Structure 1
Amino acid sequence: MLISTTLKTTALSLSLSLIAATLATAETSMDEMWGDSVVKLRAQDAERGQLFNDGNYAMFVHWGLYSTLANKVDGKTYYGIGEWIMNPRMADIPVEAYMQLPASFNPTEFDAKALVQLAKDAGMKYIVITAKHHEGFAMYDSACSDFDIVDATPYGQDPLKALSLACEEAGIGLGVYYSHFQDWTAPGGGRGPKVDAEGNAVSFEDYFVNKCLPQIDELTSNYGPLELIWFDTPASISKEHVEQLIAVVRKNQPKALINGRAGHGLGDYQGLGDMEVPLRNVPGMWESVDTINDSWAYAWYDENWKSPKEILRRLIGTVARGGTYMLNVGPRGDGSVPERSARTLRSSGEWIQEYPQVVYDVDASPWEHALPWGDATVKGNKLLLSVFEWPDSGTLYVPGLLTEVKGARLLNGAANEAISFAREGNTLLLDLPAQAPDSLVSVIELELASTPKADPTWALDPTTKTTIEAEFCSTEGATLSNIRWMEKFGEWKHMKQVTDWKPGSAATWEVDVLVPGDYQVDLSYKGEDRLVWEVEVEGGEKIRNQQASSEIYQAHPMGWLHFPEAGRYRIHVRLLEGDVKSSSLSAIHFGLVLAD
């Protein structure tokens, strides 16, 4: 579809003065607009959040006018998240031109029942759909704005009403996304036009009173019981405005949760950054939001789908850290869901239906981080081990388990079988068959004498390469810092890195060696030109090597280190020569080469 400022104005067009009005300014970064969202569900609100807290898995749906463009404007493809296509940092579409899109928006392939069935097949417990994104277009029947799917499009139907009925019929929860600060087409909206159609100056208060607050009242009054109201990018919205929005939600939907991005710490739970699955356990109620490919909204070129195994890795990783995982799909402009995204969701959903006890109503891993071969969740006195990397040796090493084990069994449908095990100190050794019983993720259930407890110290697995991120190191003389960057516009990556290397500075990891011997050590880093690194076992060997570097993080081989006996060691990494100022270290890797 072509967007052009020469198109004729329509009844929905604003005056030409709006073309020059300010949209989103580039000064504010996207992560700054998320706002302070570190909050917890209040104890007195225990009735709210049960589905969120126990279900642990939900579907996010980004669908709007931007879906019809699919990241292509006037023949040019824009790479990044599709729902921001209008923004100056993407295609920079003028308001007047964007306001003409509804005339050709006719999503006749939208099937609410099919979308709900897909969510159920995927193992998801509720759906959150974009009722209004930053573009300002209401994907429901709004009485306070003509810029909506019922009044402004040939489709003329309310998809949110259909989705509400389908969710109720299927017994699945429903939530709505609403961009409460940013509205790029509404006069007065955050980063939107500053004058109305008659050229009169308008303020954010005008937008808030005339559109934002009434639409939240509509959404929370007209679509049955809602599980969640998902606000986004609070940016500079005032606390008083957020309090007014929350008061409406509490009045109309007393059992609905409000996410942390409402702003000012007034939501019910913590929201992490987009596409962020944390490496450490996070206390309280929190949520990780992710997307099934790279864009949230449909982008014609984006075929980088997460495999069923990767979906499960990120889902279980989130739940094992103590959180809830919401995974996004982006329907096409016609309302249909891309076939490949549906297939990968159903495939991972079949696994969840086979092993629901791993995902639903479980507690976080006692190790507080993943293990080299997989991850763990807890249900009472049972420990559920999700094994992504099946050991070729036939022995699975479960390190640092402090609780007595009464029994172990390999879950495999109706053919669950007991497996033998032994202990060497705090390490549990499980005797496994040569072949993994499940092609995606195999599950072992340990029955314990009491609630699982574990030593969170990282252990070097003898059969699987052990990668330990900088997140888990301490530093002396160098700086450990969080970084967040975009591969494409809006495609977020997150990690910790060690930087600001100085003479004598070091990054130090504490590890447990389960099997003594020679281990290959690699370092993941980035920098310029060649770098000389040193890796030292405190009180033991040290190795040095010079390797090339690049602008992106890559693993580079350092050499072999010998651990003469099982036990705990401290490993020091130092950058000795090269670009010590801008080089950064992100992880260390260990792989057993020769056992003693």
Structure 2
Amino acid sequence: MEFCVDQLIQPAKNSENEMMKSFVLSLIVTFVVGGVHAEEMDAMWGESTVKLRAENAERGELFDEGNYAMFIHWGLYSQLGNRVAGQTYYGIGEWIMDPKMAGIPVDEYKQLAGTFSPTDFDADAIVKLAKDAGMKYIVITAKHHDGFAMYDSAACDFNIVDATPWKVDPMKELSAACREAGLGFGFYYSHSQDWTFPGGRKGPENDEHGKPATFEDYFTKKCVPQVEELTTQYGPIELIWFDTPGGMKQEYVQQLVDIVRKNQPRALVSGRAGHNLGDYQTLGDMEVPHHNVEGMWESVDTTNDSWAYAWYDENWKAPKEVLRRLIACVGRGGTYMLNIGPDGTGAVPERAARSLRAAGDWIHRYPQVVYGTDASPWGHAMPWGDVTVKENRLFLSIFDWPESGKLYLPGLNTRVLDAYLLREETAEPITHNTTAGWTVLDLPSRAPEQMVSVIELQLDGDPEVDSTFGIDPNSGTEILAEFSTAMGAKIVKHRWMEKFGEWVCEYPACQWTPDGKVVWEVDVMEPGDYDVSLTYAGEGRLVWSVDVVGGEHIQNQQNASHNYQEFPIGWINFSEPGKYKVAVSCLEGNTQSAQLRSIRLAPVR
């Protein structure tokens, strides 16, 4: 089931670039998806939590400059791999105990610990994988919502040392291996939810004596002592990643943050601690933003669909896709934390490791693209790839090599001194010229890199740009609705699950009035006919119109899809080079169901 958020995204001025739009992204969702209210997930995640740059330069340095980290979801649930009593449950594995998945009773779930013996766990191998992948720190689940402690905890005997035949504390091994390798180390800790300890959110209502348990019982007897343990017994900690605060009172969250500050003054606290007490913003699960986001933030993603191991889940992100999402996060000003899910034996799935290493090989060849770089001054990706910045240098990451031998960069107002095509440790000068506000780079016919090629531009000063979307003369340009100005329509957050816990997020234009429209300004370098297509969701057949303001009008009827399909509309003409305004309206059909994701303008060949 899909849903739409009735909350307008308001455009605002960006302090770094007057032409760039930033958005206040609504997180209010009203429909039920996959058995979970999305508003409930927003409340659990605490997505509104955000602070700007850490005041202490040392604190959060790996987060701020490294830009890439490894997340690990591993626990008792990994032994099940989403299969219970011969039945497979499709969704995120760490929630297998929840009634929305297998609904395993507490006593039955606890018995799993008696057969949990992950003898293939190798801390040194995991750390080497992270280093090979180009990651700068590791964050691992010390305790997830199931309440099972993956370390030697004196606060509860439901832990990996006391309750399993393995009798090993893997967190000690992993923290030591990270220190030896020069990687940062941190813990994930579910501080509100605990499904097996009396009083924890969604946990047993009565204690072992049958007496009613309160959240205070859980908090004082288990949560506080465990956060003390994690911040005092495992050496220097880079980050404590609290999750799903839900209805937790502010004083509880503040107490936990104070413990972290006392015991690990250099550690960051995640944006999901709650009550704006975290040090940075964490976006929604699997969300990679399309526009630049102010302040210090991270996107958390996973190498396949499930966070924890699921036996059937072979939908791995290819190395090029890993790089695309990483560079998109860095290019939007943030950090990317990518998850692996070891299986019940402790082994990392081989295909996930292979993909990470292949992406890491590229990162080690072009570290200047990823580490210590700033967001793209355009505020969005390009049709051919993305841009990161370091002082007066631009790094153009080209995912789609142009067959024409020319790369087009719109709106760069700072003079280009030199342009180089990078080949590992060499830099080959390439010619460039400027015409009608476009920088045109001459390229060889074949890309030097199989996955992503890199061009470095050295500028005569800090980059200043006009962030108007340029219509690329090679492939055309897709422009998302979230970059438009809406009149008589609204730009909303639309989030849904493909499977339980597998979130998809879009920001379409919807709630169309009879005169509603969305308008983009575009920059056209080559005049002529352009093919127009729209990507949208809705019900039944819809009639859309596309207008070049002051120029041509076209309209067409097409069917709708439930999950955003691209439909052709027709041709329009731009008679000469320059800037135009293009407007889209939904004229007929079930217009209230229409959700416009994007417009694509491509030159007719």
**The TM-score by the shorter chain falls in which range?**
over 0.9
Are 2:345 and 1:334 aligned?
yes
Q: Distance in 2 between matches of 1:310 and 1:147?
A: 38
What residue number does 1:500 align with? 511
Query: RMSD between aligned alpha carbons?
Result: 1.3
Q: Do the aligned residues in 1 keep the contact of 2:407 with 2:441 (CA within 8 Å)?
A: yes
What residue number does 2:458 align with? 447
Q: Do the aligned residues in 2 keep the contact of 1:164 with 1:174 (CA within 8 Å)?
A: yes
Q: Counterparts in 2 of 1:508-519, with a 5 A limit?
A: 508-519=519-530
Are 2:72 and 1:54 aligned?
no
Q: Counterparts in 2 of 1:60-99, with a 5 A limit?
A: 60-99=71-110
What residue number does 2:126 align with? 115
Point out 4+ residue stretches in structure 1 off by more than 3 angstroms. 24-28, 41-44
Are 2:198 and 1:224 aligned?
no
Q: Distance in 2 between matches of 1:339 and 1:520?
A: 43
Give the residue type in structure 2 aligned to 1:246. V
What residue number does 1:375 align with? 386
The Cα offsets for residues 365-419 of structure 1, whole Å up to 9 and x where unpaired, read as: 0101101111000111110000111111100001000111100000002442000
Q: Counterparts in 2 of 1:348-359, with a 5 A limit?
A: 348-359=359-370
Are 2:223 and 1:212 aligned?
yes
What residue number does 2:441 align with? 430
Q: Do the aligned residues in 2 keep the contact of 1:37 with 1:267 (CA within 8 Å)?
A: no
Are 2:135 and 1:124 aligned?
yes
Change (3 A) 1:182 1:400: same
Deviates more, 1:291-300 or 1:520-529: 520-529
The Cα offsets for residues 160-209 of structure 1, whole Å up to 9 and x where unpaired, read as: 00001110111111010000000000100011111011111110000000
The Cα offsets for residues 300-359 of structure 1, whole Å up to 9 and x where unpaired, read as: 111000010100000000000000000000000100000000000000000000000000
Give the residue type in structure 2 aligned to 1:384. F
Aligned length: 571
Deviation at 1:247, TM superposition (A): 1.0
Q: Do the aligned residues in 2 keep the contact of 1:36 with 1:264 (CA within 8 Å)?
A: no
The Cα offsets for residues 430-470 of structure 1, whole Å up to 9 and x where unpaired, read as: 00000110000000000001111211111100102311111
Q: Do the aligned residues in 1 keep the contact of 2:188 with 2:241 (CA within 8 Å)?
A: yes
Change (3 A) 1:414 1:260: closer
Q: Do the aligned residues in 2 keep the contact of 1:291 with 1:328 (CA within 8 Å)?
A: yes
Deviation at 1:28, TM superposition (A): 6.5
Q: Distance in 2 between matches of 1:30 and 1:304?
A: 24
1:322 maps to which of 298, 314, 333: 333
Q: Distance in 1 between matches of 2:500 and 2:282?
A: 20
Q: Distance in 2 between matches of 1:539 and 1:300?
A: 57
Change (3 A) 1:582 1:28: closer
Give the residue type in structure 1 aligned to 2:496. W
Q: Do the aligned residues in 1 keep the contact of 2:54 with 2:60 (CA within 8 Å)?
A: no
Q: Counterparts in 2 of 1:513-532, with a 5 A limit?
A: 513-532=524-543
Q: Secondary structure at the match of 2:499?
A: coil
2:214 maps to which of 199, 203, 216: 203
What residue number does 2:6 align with? none
Q: Distance in 2 between matches of 1:342 and 1:243?
A: 38
Q: Secondary structure at the match of 1:29?
A: helix
Give the residue type in structure 1 aligned to 2:183. I
What residue number does 1:250 align with? 261
Q: Distance in 1 between matches of 2:191 and 2:452?
A: 40
Give the residue type in structure 2 aligned to 1:301. Y
Change (3 A) 1:26 1:324: closer
Deviation at 1:550, TM superposition (A): 2.0
Unaligned runs of 5+ in 2: 1-34
What residue number does 1:100 align with? 111
Q: Distance in 2 between matches of 1:556 and 1:26?
A: 31
Q: Secondary structure at the match of 1:263?
A: coil
Are 2:552 and 1:541 aligned?
yes
Deviates more, 1:214-223 or 1:479-488: 479-488
TM-score calculated relative to the size of structure 1: 0.94
What residue number does 1:6 align with? none
The Cα offsets for residues 490-518 of structure 1, whole Å up to 9 and x where unpaired, read as: 11111111112221211111111111111
Q: Distance in 2 between matches of 1:149 and 1:30?
A: 28
Q: Distance in 2 between matches of 1:508 and 1:377?
A: 27
Q: Secondary structure at the match of 1:397?
A: strand
Deviation at 1:41, TM superposition (A): 4.4
Q: Secondary structure at the match of 2:603?
A: strand
Q: Counterparts in 2 of 1:543-558, with a 5 A limit?
A: 543-558=554-569
Q: Counterparts in 2 of 1:452-491, with a 5 A limit?
A: 452-491=463-502
What residue number does 2:5 align with? none
Give the residue type in structure 1 aligned to 2:590. D
Q: Secondary structure at the match of 1:100?
A: helix
Q: Which of structures 1 and 2 has the larger relative contact order (alpha carbons within 8 angstroms, sep 6+)?
A: 2
TM-score calculated relative to the size of structure 2: 0.93
What residue number does 1:417 align with? 428
Deviation at 1:32, TM superposition (A): 2.4
Change (3 A) 1:199 1:25: farther
Deviation at 1:43, TM superposition (A): 5.3
Change (3 A) 1:26 1:501: closer
